[in-house]
Amino acid sequence: LSFHHQGKTLTVEPRRTLDGESPYELTIEKGALWGLEGQNLAFFTFPFVTGTPFMVYESDPAEGTVRWSLAPIIRLWFNRMLQGPGERFSDVAIRDLSGRVVASPENVEFDSSSVDLHFPRLEHATSYVLDIPDGAFMSKDGFPNLPFRLSFTTAPMTEVLETCPVQGEEDAPFPQYITVTFSDWVVPGENYESITLAREGVPIPFEKSSTEQVVYFRPLEPFSFGTHYTLTIPEGAFTNPETRAHSRAFTLSFTTAIPPEVVWTNPPESREGVFRDEPVIIAFSEPIKLYTVREETLFPETDGEKVSLTVSTFENLLILNPELPWPAFPPETRITIHIPPETVSDLKGTPNQVPFTLSFRTGKTGASPRVVWTIPGDGEEGISTDPSIVVSFDREIEKGPAWEEIALHTETGEEIPIERWVREDKSVELRPLEKLRRNRKYRVSLPPRCVQGRFEGLFTDTYIFTFQTELRPGPYEPE
C-alpha cells in the first residue's frame, strides 16, 4: 500500500490492481497513526467490495482464431465507456510467439465503448499475440484497463486446388479455355498483369475472367492440336478480398491432344465386289467414342437404292452396319460414306478434325457363313449315344445346294443316317436316326455349299469335327 495524507485526510492506494467483484477489508491497527497532538488513533476497520474492473470483454477476432486477415483490423469492446488512450498506449503491439514486437497500430478509431486497431500487413500462416498492457486505455470514469492478450493465426497463402487441363497432361482434351480453381475466393492481386500464357515457349495474348474460386484463361487464338502450353501465375497474382492472403506462385504445363485419325478401313477405298452383309469398319489411331453422328454418315450416298446405317464403336473401330432397306447393302451398288469432323472423339473428348470419305461397290452376294462353335466340341468325349449335334454360324443361314451332303460317319467311314434342319436361323442341327454305340469315335463333316447366307453367300469351307461317345468299362477298343 501507498499512503498519502493531507490535513485530516489519509489516502491509501494499493500498489497492484485489486480483483474485481471481490470483498476486501482495510484495517488500521491501533497505534498505526498519530495525531498532531501525539494521541494514538484507535483501531479501525473498513470492509468493502470492489466493482467490475475496466477491461476488454469481447474481441474480433476471437481468441484462437485461424485464417485471420494479413492486414488486420482488430476490434476490442470494453465493459465501460471509453475516454481514450492511457499512459501505456504506446506499448500496444502484436508480437510473434518468441515475444518479439512485429507490428504496432498504424491507426486507431475510438467509439463510445470500442476501439479499432489497424495494423500493417503480417506474414502468411503465422501465429501472433496482441498484447494490451494495463493502462493502455482509460475509461470515462478514470480507470485504467486490465491487461489483455489475444492469440490468432493469419491465413495461409491461397493454393491452386485443380486445373483443367491437369498438370503435365500429355494428351489434353482440346479446351476452349484453361480453368484454375483456387482454395479460396480470389480477386486480381498486385501481380495480376504479370500472368503469362505461352505456346511452345512463345507468349500469346489471352483473356482472363473469374467467378469466386475459379479463374478462366482463354487465348485470343484457338488452341492448337499437339502443342505445348505453359500458364505462369506469379505469387500475388490473386488475393483473397477478406483475408488479403496472396495466391502462391503456380505454373501449369500441358500438351494438347492429337485428334483421332483414320488409319485403315474394311473394305479398302474403291474396293469392288464387297460383300453386302459385312459391316464397314473404319479404324482410328486410338480408342474412340461417338461424338456427333450426322445424317451424312447415317445415310450414305448411293447410285441406286437408298441405305441407312447403324453406328457403334469398339476400341479404336467405328462400325457401320446396314440397317434399311435390309440388314445388308443393295447388290452391285456404289456406296459412299462420309465421316465429317467431330463424328468421333478420343476417350477424353478430343474429336476427329479431318473429314473422311470411303467409297466402294457391293457385289451380288453376302459373305460366306463361318462356323463359330459346335456341340459337341471338336474332340470332346463322353457324349450321349443319342446326341443332338449343333453347328452354329456367324450369320443367318439357309439350306445350300449341298445340304444333303452334311454327314455323320464312324471312324471306319460308315455313314450314320441323320436328320438335318436349320435351327434359329444361324445353326444347323443334326439328329442321328439310330442310337450311337458306346465308346466310339464319330466324325461330322460339312462340305462346301452345304449352307448359304441370307444374301446368297455360299459356305466355302470343308468343316470336320469329331467326338467320342460315353465310355463303358474297360479300355478303348477301336472298331
Query: Do residue 384 and residue 434 come from a single domain?
Result: yes
The whole-number pLDDT of residue 477 equals 52
- Residue 431 maps to a domain: yes
Residue 397 lies in a domain: yes
The answer to whether residues 304 and 386 belong to one domain is: no
> Does one domain contain both 70 and 26?
no
pTM of the model: 0.66
Cis preceding linkage at 120, omega within 30: no
Q: Which of 129, 154, 179 marks a domain boundary?
A: 154
Which of 235, 241, 248 is closest to 161 using CA atoms? 248
- What is the DSSP track for 109-153? EE-SSEEEEE-----TT-EEEEEE-TTSEEETTSPBPPPEEEEEE
Task: Tell me what pLDDT residue 21 has.
Answer: 67
pLDDT recorded at residue 30: 78
Q: Considering 100, 120, 154, which residue would you say is the last residue of a domain? A: 154
Cβ contacts of residue 127 below 8 Å, gap of 6+?
96, 97, 151, 152, 153
Amino acid 471: pLDDT: 83
User: How many structural domains compose the chain?
Assistant: 5
Domain co-membership, 186 together with 224: yes
**Shared-domain flag, residues 378 and 445:** yes
**Taking Cα atoms as reference points, which of 207, 194, 177, 212 lies closest to residue 250?**
194
Q: What backbone phi and psi angles, to 5 degrees, belong to 68? A: -85, 160
Give, in order, the Cα–Cα distances in Å from 211 to each of 184, 200, 214.
11, 28, 5
Is 477 domain-assigned? no
Q: Evaluate whether residue 178 is within a structural domain.
A: yes
pLDDT for 89 equals: 97
Assess whether 249 and 284 both reside in one domain. no
Question: Is 132 inside any structural domain?
Answer: yes
pLDDT at res. 47: 81
Q: Which residues pair with 172 in a beta bridge?
A: 256
Last-in-domain residue among 310, 337, 361: 361
Task: Answer whether residue 463 is part of any domain.
Answer: yes
Same domain, 398 and 450: yes
pLDDT at 169: 93
Q: Which residues of the chain have pLDDT under 50?
A: none
Residues 229 and 275 in one domain: no
Q: Are residues 266 and 357 in the same domain?
A: yes
> According to the model, what pLDDT value does residue 400 have?
96
Gyration radius from the chain CA atoms: 48
Same domain, 379 and 463: yes
Angle at 335 between CA 329 and CA 339, to 5 degrees: 110
pLDDT of residue 15: 82
Q: Over the chain, what is the mean pLDDT?
A: 92
The one-letter amino acid code at 192 reads: Y
* 340 lies in some domain: yes
Give the CATH number of the domain where residue 398 resides. Answer: 2.60.40.1220
- Give percent above pLDDT 90 in the chain: 80
Rounded Cα–Cα distance for residues 123 and 96 (Å): 10
**Model confidence pLDDT, tens digit, residues 87-129:** 999 999 999 999 999 999 999 999 999 999 999 999 999 999 9
Domain span at residue 214 reads 160-255
Non-local CB neighbours of 328 within 8 Å, separated by 6+ positions: 276, 277, 322, 366, 454, 455
Kindly state whether residues 386 and 319 are assigned to the same domain: no
- 129 and 175 fall within a common domain: no
Whether residue 478 lies inside any domain: the answer is no
In this structure, which long-range contacts are made by residues 159-168, counting pairs with CB atoms below 8 Å and at least 24 apart in sequence?
159/183, 159/247, 159/248, 160/233, 160/247, 160/248, 160/250, 161/213, 163/252, 165/252, 165/254, 165/256, 166/254, 167/252, 167/253, 167/254, 168/253, 168/254
Which pLDDT belongs to residue 475? 56
